[in-house]
Amino acid sequence: MCALLRPLQIGPYVLDNNIALAPMAGVSDFPWRDVCRTWGAGYAVGEMLHSRGDLMGTDKSTFRTVQMYEKAPIAIQLLGNNPQDMARAAQAQVAAGAHIIDINMGCPAKKVCAVAAGSALLDNEPLVAAICQAVVQAVPEAVVTLKMRTGALRDHKNAVAIARIAANSGVQLLSVHGRTREDKFLGEAEYDTIAEVVHAVSIPVLANGDITCPEKAQQVLKHTQAAGIMIGRGANGRPWLFSQIAHYLATNQQLPEPDLKTIHQVIHKHVQAMHQFYGDFIGVRMARKHLVWYAPYLRMSLVQRQQLMAAETPEHQLSVLAQLSV
């Protein structure tokens, strides 16, 4: 492998490459992680799971917990603001088979920040330290990582301080999104702060935010000197982006998209996997958002699009998809 495309080590785990799928609530479930790994993602983190015990048993949480047939290392992301809750949740997930616990300090959603969790935690450095220390001490047999932003406010980017707190607490990898909590997903990600974090700590750092094409991936890696990149929204509807980026980093040449027949096979298989994972009722509905992202490759008429989005059963959804096959 070349200098930019290389294996990524997270604790004792050496991954095939340094291109990761970001944890995204309602998106990066097991079927999507599996698709992205198939297309070259070296690492994938599950969507956030709440650490509070009274919320851990919900149907939604059941889908977000450890899936034993997932390729190792299994990474579970925990959300919360109470060190003891986070520690207990980490122990439960490791007991269930998780190898890596990722702490969420990056989510900017209003309902998350309103309860002082996610990226709201960046405002409270003592609490950041308490959470990191509690989780690391609770699961010494596992690896603990942290997903964060550059700070809470645009005029107060404290990512370097947070990174040092995490590293000193025993966190073994950081993923940094190049926006503050205040930015949410507006404007453009910036990478200067990520570069500062990379040079401030000795643990691996993944650069995240607005990486939507191979050229941008190369640019971000060169600019930040990060150990790797993490891709979220940029891969929605096109999981082959991972293989395109890997090829470009290795050869400096573009890899074309798969042909439409292959793309339709990917879509069909992904939708079937969602039906199987969630069951008929939830599976059909969860598949719809991915079908919206896949839509540019389906070449649907307005009527066909309406039929696809209105499908209520797996059989109907797959039947409409089959009619769109090339």
pLDDT confidence band for 130 (50 / 70 / 90): very high
Whether 15 is in a domain gets the answer: yes
Summarize the confidence of residues 233-254 as an average pLDDT.
Answer: 97
Are residue 102 and residue 140 in the same domain, yes or no?
yes
Residue 36 bears catalytic tag: no
**Of the residues 191, 224, 251, which one is the last residue of a structural domain?**
251
Residue 122 domain boundaries = 8-251
Whether the pLDDT of residue 1 is over 60: the answer is no
Query: Using one digit for the tens of pLDDT, what is the confidence trace for 277-286?
Result: 999 999 999 9
Determine the pLDDT at residue 55.
Answer: 47
DSSP element (H, E) containing 137: helix 125-138
pLDDT, averaged across the chain: 92
* Alpha-helix residue ranges (DSSP H) falling in 252-301: 260-278, 280-294
pLDDT confidence band for 271 (50 / 70 / 90): very high
Are residue 135 and residue 264 in the same domain, yes or no?
no
Are residue 74 and residue 140 in the same domain, yes or no?
yes
**Of the residues 251, 282, 314, which one is the last residue of a structural domain?**
251
Kindly report the pTM of this predicted structure: 0.93
Are residue 89 and residue 118 in the same domain, yes or no?
yes
Are residue 64 and residue 101 in the same domain, yes or no?
yes
Give the angle 232-235-241 at the CA atoms, nearest 5°.
130
* Given the residues 107, 113, 132, 213, the one annotated as active site: 107
Number of domains in the chain: 2
Determine the pLDDT at residue 56.
Answer: 46
Are residue 89 and residue 194 in the same domain, yes or no?
yes
Are residue 163 and residue 288 in the same domain, yes or no?
no
- Which contacts qualify for 121-128: CB closer than 8 Å, 24 or more apart? 121/81, 122/148, 122/149, 122/151, 122/152, 122/158, 122/159, 122/162, 122/181, 123/152, 125/158, 125/161, 125/162, 125/165, 127/81, 127/83, 128/162, 128/165, 128/166
Whether the pLDDT of residue 151 is over 70: the answer is yes
Determine the pLDDT at residue 211.
Answer: 97
Neighbours of 257 (CB within 10 A): 14
* Distance, CA of 62 to CA of 65 (rounded, Å): 6
Query: Using one digit for the tens of pLDDT, what is the confidence trace for 23-51?
Result: 998 999 999 999 999 999 999 999 999 88
Are residue 130 and residue 246 in the same domain, yes or no?
yes
Are residue 243 and residue 264 in the same domain, yes or no?
no
* Distance, CA of 39 to CA of 219 (rounded, Å): 21
Whether 2 is in a domain gets the answer: no
Contact 200, 226 (CB under 8 A): no
Displacement of CA 90 from its chain's centroid (Å): 18
Are residue 310 and residue 192 in the same domain, yes or no?
no
